[in-house]
Structure 1
Amino acid sequence: MVNTTGRRGFRGAAVVTGAGSGIGRSIAMALAARGLGVVVADVEDDAADAVAKEIVESGHRAIGLGVDVRDRDAVEAMADRAENEFGPVSVLVNNAGVTLRPFRASWDTSDQDFRWIMDVNFWGVVNGHMAFVRRMLNGSGERHIVNTASTAAIHPFAGHSAYSASKGAVDAFSVAVRAELQTQGIGVSVLYPGPIKTRITSSARLRPESEATESTSVKPWSDYVGTSGNNLVETADVGGRLPNRASMPYEIIDSDAVGEIVLDGIDNHRPYILTHPPHEDLIELRRNELIDGRPR
């Protein structure tokens, strides 16, 4: 049975994708401080190496790997490397993700953009799942998986359809695999980040120049609704000191705070981990609309 209370006794390896900065870096640092050997994986090799070096210099264990989560073979090779370096993997965090800027209408979003977003955000999670879960099933002791979705998966975000779709897929996938794994001693949590200062808003840097130019030249959503009608929060332009905890759903927080939030969620075996207070009114509205959709 899975331990449901208190500080959990993980051992061996932890793997965090998208860990070269932001949320992934914070989670990797927190897991390393817990005593796990951490594989810091990121599509940007230098960023992965820099975070791994930071962890090692703090007295903990880590290696950096350049991994494109869209590549199943590369993810499988990462699983082999993790076991060879640190032993069986007890914590897997499928965190790598990208987004589109500017925000845009669904009808102005290209097929290429939709496929890129889904390949990284959803198939990256599936590839991680397939590479690690069979190994984890053969393991013992505490084991846990965290898949990073977004509040965009549970709240309406006009102008953010491709990203919302990818994170909604992560959400539904995670709920299903939790039901499968709960009798196998493996916990599964979904992480729903709210507004956090990270590098995800510059995701276009990860695409070939021609694709990035075409994607960033699209008509912005604000052209349809104006700035006052746009409920999307842009974190890229936020400067200054940011809080570690949000008191409101739209408050932007520092990514360094997320690691401890995630560890607390894992320790308490929470199926859902939120970085911000939820939009209770929107959740209640959707609940009521779902109930109202019953057959009459």
Structure 2
Amino acid sequence: MRLTEGQVAVVTGAASGIGLAMARRFAAEGLKVVLADVEEEALERAAGELADDGARVLARTVDVGDRDSVLALADVAYDTFGAVHVLCNNAGVGSGAEGRMWEHDPNDWKWAFAVNVWGVFHGIQAFVPRMLAGGEPGHVVNTSSGDGGIAPLPTASVYAVTKAAVVTMTESLYAHLRAERAAVGASVLFPGPHMLRTGLWESHRNRPERYAKQRPRRTPYRSLGQWEAAMKEAGHEVTFTPVEEVAEFVVRGITADRFWMLPASEHSDRQIRARSASMLDRADPSYLESFILD
């Protein structure tokens, strides 16, 4: 797919982080951009910034876990711009879960699944039929993570499970689009290859009341800055990937019609090989042992 001036890109989770970086990058290509996010004030700032830079922007406050909210987003996007060519189902949250899996608050799972899994499905159902009916080349990018998408980090198991689901959902979407001989492609994005400075660590700021914790946390939430400081104090230097690099990777992946938007990483490759070997050998998942012992 060629990205050309006048096309339309929809990005969820677009008020900050990877989503905003992708919206900026699409706007730089001359695309009209539809920004969707649950955080209204941040969304208004992002839309204003892009508009000041000359982009044609439509911003809507959307809860991707609410099907009607996403369907309304599709309606307003098509009513305003007449078409959608790129859909980035990018909105995501951490879960806030702590302790062993059997100790988790069920609402941590419900909230994470509502956004990270149902949010992607709602985006597919709201936009893909219209993209297919339009007959023009298009592309869907679903944001996963190395945590879960490649192998789980058991200390963040809720998030990992949701991101594993995104990979399988996107594989299925790819197969269905191919079966239709559609001009619409699909990709699964693994942001990286290193840590990213995003608002994911403070996801709880946007947690809906319907998914409120049923019991208080035993430990306070830790910000990215606090985690980074703790890592440095322990003698571990943390490397970060700029979100702008992720956005550039997405644009190049779309134009190359690349399904696996998976940046080169020795660490990721080791995980993939270790997990694959474990399955092929019918062996225990030894690649998890360092986490199991924590």
Length-normalised TM-score, structure 2? 0.83
**1:254 corresponds to which residue?**
242
CA distance in 2, matches of 1:143, 1:45: 28
Equivalent residues in 2 for 1:1-296, closer than 5 Å: 3=1, 7-9=2-4, 11-101=6-96, 104-152=99-147, 153-182=149-178, 183-194=181-192, 195-208=195-208, 217-218=217-218, 235-237=224-226, 251-275=239-263, 277=265, 278-293=267-282
1:114-156: CA deviations, max 9, x gaps?
A: 1110011000000000000110111123200000111112123
**1:149, 1:171 within 8 Å by CA — same for their partners in 2?**
yes
Q: Which segments of 5 or more consecutive residues in structure 1 lack a partner in the other structure?
A: 221-232, 241-249
- Contact kept? 2:97, 2:158, Cα under 8 Å: no
Over aligned residues, Cα RMSD in angstroms? 2.5
SS at match of 1:85: helix
- Tell me if structure 2 keeps the 8 A contact 1:75–1:127: yes
- Structure 1 residue 258 displacement after superposition: 1.9
In the TM superposition, what whole-angstrom CA distance separates every residue of 1:87-132 from its partner, at most 9, and x where no partner exists? Answer: 2100000000000346543222111111110011000000000000
Report how far residue 260 of structure 1 moved: 1.0
Q: Deviation of residue 234 (structure 1)?
A: 7.5
Cα distance in 1 for partners of 2:264, 2:205 equals 28
Against the structure 1 CA distance between its residues 12 and 211, is the aligned structure 2 distance closer, same or farther, given a 3 Å change threshold? Answer: closer
TM-score normalized by the length of structure 1: 0.83
Distance of 2:102 and 2:249 partners within structure 1:
36
Q: How many residues align?
A: 268
Kindly indicate whether structure 1 or structure 2 has the higher relative contact order, using CA contacts under 8 Å at least 6 residues apart.
1
Distance 1:215 1:262 in 2: 39
The alpha-carbon deviation at position 192 of structure 1 amounts to 1.0
Q: Contact 1:147–1:191 (CA<8 Å) still a contact in 2?
A: yes
Amino acid at match of 2:88: V
Preserved contact between residue 15 and residue 39 of structure 1 (Cα < 8 Å): yes
- Aligned mates of 1:238, 1:261 — CA distance in 2: 27
**Residue 49 (structure 1) shift:** 1.7
Gaps of 5+ in 2: 230-237, 284-294
TM-aligned CA deviation for residue 11 of structure 1:
4.4
**Percent of aligned positions that are identical:** 38
